[in-house]
Structure 1
Amino acid sequence: MILIPSTASPDRPSPDAVCHAIAQRNGSPLFLVSRLLGGAKRRLFISAYAAMRVIDDLVDENFLALPREQRPGQRERVLEKIETWRLQARAASRHAFTPRADSFHPDVFLALNETIGQSDLGDWPWDALADAMRHDVHEQEIVTWEDFLAYCEGATVSPAATFAYILACEVQDGHYRLNRPDPFCRDQVRDMAIFCYLIHIARDLAKDARKDRQLITIPTGMLAEAGFGRDTLAAGLDRKASLIPLIRALTDRASERLATGLDPIARLPLRTLERWILDRLLNKYRALHLQLIENPLRYL
């Protein structure tokens, strides 16, 4: 294999700069609050966020954005990219990623070498997110609530647990350490992550329905109870009142997760600044939750 350059040059941005450009381009609230973190933790966040962003963009923008009839011809190629991404992330988590000519976003993983590769985060977030991405590329149905929860492990619990780790870890001599059992962060954030995801789904229902049925991650059973299928939901946007039962079902499920998620997330060992950052983010979703309860049609 031919190795590609791993250092910046006058006409080549550094790996950290590449990650920063990726992380800032969609104006995510997570990126905006990350600026409040100290330098070492901010660097850890930027590289982890960029790594997760590039695989999500590959699936959503480069695959699901294709006309449906073109996807079968691209499916295997994208699945191979997802596996390449997963293996690169696992290597970087051991400070062992080596860029090659066929690497996927190698600069991102060079940056990950120096951040996640110096941490005790582990492999689970990368494996779980890869599972969710493969689910999307296979265009599998989410039929039951249990299917939805399984999908959430990769789609929302994985990035949320990674963010919680970044907030909770201690920086020691260039290393990041939490010194807790591997499931700790995901167990503490799971219900609140699902709460936020359900609110995200309810808020973006119209936008996702207009784009593609695969972006609708609501269980088929929940859709059917509200009188819809994935292929008929977009038509319901012309009859907004007909969507009220579906949005209420989503906010009811979110209320359940909020009730069970507050105590676990309060047990994260956070310093004052990190706790304030987390509370600020969660309060945004809690405000959206209340808005959708008061007016289910607010974002349609």
Structure 2
Amino acid sequence: MTESASEGDVAVCRDIAGRANANLLHAARLLPARRQAFFFASYAAMRLIDDAVDDDFLMRPAPERDATRSRMLQEIGAWEAQCLGDGKQGPLPAPVRRAMQGIVLPSDLGAAPWQGLASAMRRDVEEREMADWEDFLSYAQGATIAPATVFVYLLSAETDEKGFRCRLPEAPVTYAADLGIFCYLVHILRDLAKDAERSDRLVTIPLSLLAEAGLEKNRLSEAVRARDPGVPLLAAALRAKAGVHLELGRTSLALLKPLLGRREYFALSGLIRIYETLFERFSTDFFDGLAAAPALERSLRADLLNEETDP
């Protein structure tokens, strides 16, 4: 039996989700209240484990990571069990767990997104090298396709007395995969300098692409600061990969348009428009694009919220 979720529980999830100030969050705020509650519960749960790995575990010195790796892997397992309704104890605080139990678990979303993100987080904690593009795509199944699938699901699902029910002709992941990978690659471009500066463990770029650009992962921050000519070469390679997924993602958008409500489609297409504009901004001078991206992104978010009044 699932637990009920209170308005207070959803408010806690909203606060946790809001810490990220992500583009996805701004798009979700355009949705009706019931869909927002689903979003905040699921996004807060994903945000908590992702932050625990990226902002806590991976930032520790190597000896401490070695000493706590097993414990962190256990925490990911406990998180996965909480998200699937198989356990109460774990990293999710009680309000988030109740929101998951009361709002998300009664839906027919299924286990795949939670299992996928848990798999990606385990890979991060185990510090497995990302050798080539196939490794990247495997990692992306959990790191970006999983949350994208949840978003497409909640945009499209209808509600009945039991909760949300999918009504798409194909599984949500079919529509979400290329859109998720495209947005993730734009994220990588946008955050390249910041992630490399914080730690090379946050750089999720295949070693093969770095090598083709004449760069080394553990010296990427230095290369960005020095405006190494290899950095624009790397950015161009990432843009080429992103462009392929953008074209496929546009097909997904076209298929989704008649299947979504007006507001839901507006939220999704507006979200993708933010990433398309950033993507184009990186098509000229990459270093200028890096400098311009924060202000551009803030402007695009404001435009999205303003346009919603008369889409």
TM-score, normalised with respect to structure 2: 0.86
Equivalent positions of 1:171-250 (< 5 A) are: 171-173=159-161, 175-180=163-168, 184-242=171-229, 243-250=231-238
Moved more, 285-294 or 262-271: 262-271
Q: Does 1:168 align with 2:156?
A: yes
Equivalent positions of 1:1-300 (< 5 A) are: 14-91=8-85, 99-100=88-89, 104-173=92-161, 175-180=163-168, 184-242=171-229, 243-268=231-256, 269-297=259-287, 298-299=289-290
Letter in 1 for 2:50: D
Letter in 1 for 2:219: T
Letter in 2 for 1:164: V
CA distance in 1, matches of 2:263, 2:61: 45
* Contiguous gaps of at least 5 residues in structure 1: 92-96
Shift of 1:281: 0.4
CA distance in 1, matches of 2:88, 2:4: 7
CA distance in 2, matches of 1:241, 1:139: 26
CA distance in 1, matches of 2:218, 2:5: 48
Shift of 1:43: 0.6
Letter in 1 for 2:56: N
Give deviations 1:133-167, integer Å, cap 9, x for gaps.
Answer: 00000011100100000000000000001000011
Shift of 1:36: 1.8
Shift of 1:103: 6.0
Moved more, 155-164 or 69-78: 69-78
Displacement over 6 Å in runs of 4+:
5-8
Shift of 1:239: 2.3
Q: Residue 99 of structure 1 contacts residue 110 of structure 1 at CA under 8 Å; is this kept in 2?
A: no
Q: Residue 38 of structure 2 contacts residue 104 of structure 2 at CA under 8 Å; is this kept in 1?
A: yes
CA distance in 1, matches of 2:203, 2:25: 25
* Contiguous gaps of at least 5 residues in structure 2: 292-311
Shift of 1:261: 1.9
Q: Residue 149 of structure 2 contacts residue 172 of structure 2 at CA under 8 Å; is this kept in 1?
A: yes
Q: Residue 148 of structure 2 contacts residue 180 of structure 2 at CA under 8 Å; is this kept in 1?
A: yes
Q: 1:114 to 1:6 in 2, by over 3 A?
A: closer
CA distance in 1, matches of 2:253, 2:204: 25
Kindly tell me the number of residue pairs found equivalent between the two proteins. Answer: 285
| Structure with more helix by fraction | 2
Q: Percent identity?
A: 37
Shift of 1:26: 2.4
Q: 1:17 to 1:258 in 2, by over 3 A?
A: same
Q: Residue 73 of structure 2 contacts residue 125 of structure 2 at CA under 8 Å; is this kept in 1?
A: yes
Letter in 1 for 2:194: K
CA distance in 2, matches of 1:261, 1:174: 31
What's the C-alpha RMSD, in Å, of the aligned pairs?
2.0
Q: Secondary structure at the match of 1:240?
A: coil
CA distance in 2, matches of 1:194, 1:224: 22
Q: Residue 63 of structure 1 contacts residue 71 of structure 1 at CA under 8 Å; is this kept in 2?
A: yes
Equivalence for 2:304: none
Q: Residue 189 of structure 1 contacts residue 265 of structure 1 at CA under 8 Å; is this kept in 2?
A: no
Letter in 1 for 2:37: R
Q: Residue 182 of structure 2 contacts residue 246 of structure 2 at CA under 8 Å; is this kept in 1?
A: yes
Q: Residue 152 of structure 2 contacts residue 176 of structure 2 at CA under 8 Å; is this kept in 1?
A: yes
TM-score, normalised with respect to structure 1: 0.89
Q: Secondary structure at the match of 2:159?
A: strand
Shift of 1:7: 8.4
Shift of 1:6: 8.8
Equivalence for 1:94: none
CA distance in 2, matches of 1:270, 1:17: 26
CA distance in 2, matches of 1:75, 1:145: 26
